[in-house]
Amino acid sequence: MTLRPLFVTLALLFGGAGHAQTTVSGDIAAAQTSVLTVDVEALFSGSLFSATFDAQYQQKAEALLAENLKIETALTEEEKSLTARRPTMTPEAFRAEAEAFSTKVDAIRAAQDTKEAELRASVSEAEQRFIEAVSPILGQMMAERGAVVILDRRTVFLTRSVADITQEAIERINAELGDGAALLDPAQ
């Protein structure tokens, strides 16, 4: 495979070698570019919203774990009780109670699995709410720089640092959204 088409594309994107050399050696802090990049993961993890969400998620995960341990303890005791009473029970009575216990355990397990799945799904939901909330902020940054697109930095092969607005975006997002608690509470 030849890299020639890649270099031709890069030359066209950066306006030829002379232009690229001028921009790199000149003051590029105020340069405008039609393509901006952002590290989406860093944008989320560096936000106050992320810290708020992480704290709430951790609290919910710990509560669910405590609930699971409490349920496990209660079911273990119930199973021990059934086992201890077995010698005094008829086989039919024991079988009926054992089946009822098994059905109860299956229902509890299904309910707890649903709670765990909902907790895991809350991560994607929070990320989606975050992206929706920051889109206008990023759109404003695009307009200010005369850009036409913002790309996820992970999908870009080569870029100049002037195109990366991640840190500036985090600062503006934190200033405008604060801790983002309102995004996490649908009642607000």
> What's the pTM?
0.70
One domain, residues 38 and 19: no
Host domain of residue 148? 32-184
Domains of the chain: total: 2
One domain, residues 55 and 113: yes
Query: Mapped to the 3 state alphabet, what secondary structure does the chain carry?
Result: CCCHHHHHHHHHHCCHHHHHHHHHHCCCCCCCCCEEEECHHHHHHCCHHHHHHHHHHHHHHHHHHHHHHHHHHHHHHHHHHHHHHHHHCCHHHHHHHHHHHHHHHHHHHHHHHHHHHHHHHHHHHHHHHHHHHHHHHHHHHHHHHCCCEEEEHHHCCCCCHHHECHHHHHHHHHHHHCCCHHHHCCCC
**Tens digit of pLDDT for each residue in 83-132?**
999 999 999 999 999 999 999 999 999 999 999 999 999 999 999 999 99
Q: What is the pLDDT, as a whole number, of residue 19? A: 35
One domain, residues 24 and 51: no
One domain, residues 65 and 158: yes
One domain, residues 23 and 42: no
The ranges of the chain with pLDDT < 50 are 1-30, 188
Q: What is the pLDDT, as a whole number, of residue 186? A: 60
One domain, residues 14 and 36: no
Q: What is the pLDDT, as a whole number, of residue 31? A: 53
